[in-house]
């Protein structure tokens, strides 16, 4: 919904800072009022392809949901995977049930698929992995940040080993000492208030509000045009999720991505790296 709504904001001269919209189409309007405070599907897909190559995989199958998110992430991954020399053995979407997944699994076994890229939301991802494991296919699964939520974590043992590329983990130590101290303080306050660890959306909401407040202070104005100028200035800003700035199109850059794996019923960090600005 953010993409069509952004047109209304742009036409009205209102500022939009999107903390959760990953669609590449959001920032293709060449607007000075639209900003994305999260990596796009293109950037996440590129990092997933890099991870697959670094992990030593050669032949990949892609499963995606037939919506904007699924197609966007699958397309970005496939493009970067081809550039990295990976072989896309198969690409499928919108499974109907166990028999459908069984046919996919049988084909992937014959094709010697080594890893499956899952480009879908957590609900469909859980259903798909459950059926995939029931079919006897035990190869690794990797996916995007849509799988990074409590629903996926608590779904069952069959998601163990799944690797996701996301934007936040409370244990991450950022490249910037300032970022890390901000995260430590935020994490402590969140646990004291809610009795649990913060997730990526809590961190994103916190950072987005602080970012807007800081830009208003820098601009010494609440005028959307003046705030947008500050966001587009290229000066880095440090938050709980890490340091970032914005490019000429309103896309976030210089942000860290976190690789996490399901181990023992929780996501554990297995790596993190700066966002590839060429993605």
Question: Bigger pLDDT: 276 or 106?
Answer: 106
Question: Is the pLDDT at 10 greater than 90, yes or no?
Answer: yes
Q: How confident is the model at residue 275 (pLDDT cuts 50, 70, 90)?
A: low
Mean pLDDT of the chain: 92
Task: Give the count of beta carbons closer than 10 Å to the beta carbon of residue 213.
Answer: 10
Question: Is the pLDDT at 60 greater than 90, yes or no?
Answer: yes
Sequence-distant (6+) residues with CB within 8 A of 171 are: 269
Classify burial at 109, counting beta carbons within 10 Å of its beta carbon; exposed 0-12, middle 13-18, buried 19 or more. middle
What is the rounded distance in angstroms from the CA atom of residue 111 to the CA atom of residue 236? 46
What is the rounded distance in angstroms from the CA atom of residue 14 to the CA atom of residue 263? 43
- Residue 136: left (phi > 0), alpha (psi -120 to 50), or beta? left
Query: What are the pLDDT digits (tens) for 160-177?
Result: 999 999 999 888 766 666
Fold of 2-39+172-257: Rossmann fold (3.40.50)
What is the rounded distance in angstroms from the CA atom of residue 127 to the CA atom of residue 158? 10
Q: What is the pLDDT of residue 176?
A: 63
Q: Do domains 2-39+172-257 and 42-165 have the same CATH topology?
A: yes
Q: How confident is the model at residue 277 (pLDDT cuts 50, 70, 90)?
A: very low
Question: Is the pLDDT at 140 greater than 80, yes or no?
Answer: yes
Contact 118, 128 (CB under 8 A): yes
Domain spans of the chain?
2-39+172-257, 42-165
Between CA 103 and CA 105, with CA 104 as vertex, the angle to 5 degrees is 90
Question: Bigger pLDDT: 234 or 208?
Answer: 208
Q: What mean pLDDT do residues 82-93 have?
A: 95
For the chain, how many residues are written? Answer: 279
> Distances in Å between the alpha carbon of 73 and those of 4, 67, 207, 212?
19, 10, 24, 28
Contact 137, 107 (CB under 8 A): no
Domain 42-165 class, CATH top level: alpha beta
Q: What is the pLDDT of residue 178?
A: 62
């Amino acid at each position: 919904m953010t993409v069509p709504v952004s047109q209304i904001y742009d036409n009205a001269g209102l500022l939009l800072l999107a903390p959760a919209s990953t669609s590449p189409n959001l920032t293709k309007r060449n607007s000075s009022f639209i900003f994305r405070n999260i990596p796009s599907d293109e950037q996440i897909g590129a990092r997933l392809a890099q991870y697959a190559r670094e992990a030593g995989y050669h032949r990949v199958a892609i499963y995606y949901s037939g919506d904007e998110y699924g197609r966007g992430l699958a397309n970005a991954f496939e493009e970067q995977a081809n550039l990295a020399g990976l072989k896309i053995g198969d690409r499928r979407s919108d499974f109907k049930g166990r028999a459908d997944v069984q046919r996919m699994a049988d084909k992937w076994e014959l094709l010697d698929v080594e890893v499956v890229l899952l480009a879908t939301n957590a609900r469909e991802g859980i259903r798909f992995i459950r059926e995939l494991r029931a079919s006897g296919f035990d190869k690794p699964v990797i996916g995007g940040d849509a799988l990074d939520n409590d629903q996926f974590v608590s779904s069952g043992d069959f998601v163990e080993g799944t690797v996701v590329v996301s934007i936040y983990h409370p244990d991450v130590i950022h490249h910037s000492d300032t970022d890390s101290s901000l995260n430590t303080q935020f994490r402590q306050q969140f646990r004291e208030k809610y009795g649990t660890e913060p997730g990526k959306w809590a961190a994103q909401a916190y950072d987005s509000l602080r970012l807007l407040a800081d830009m208003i202070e820098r601009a010494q104005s609440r005028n959307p045009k003046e705030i947008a100028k500050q966001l587009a200035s290229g000066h880095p800003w440090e938050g709980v999720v890490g340091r970032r700035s914005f490019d000429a199109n309103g896309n976030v850059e210089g942000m860290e991505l976190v690789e996490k794996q399901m181990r023992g019923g929780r996501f554990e960090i297995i790596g993190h790296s700066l966002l590839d600005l060429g993605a």
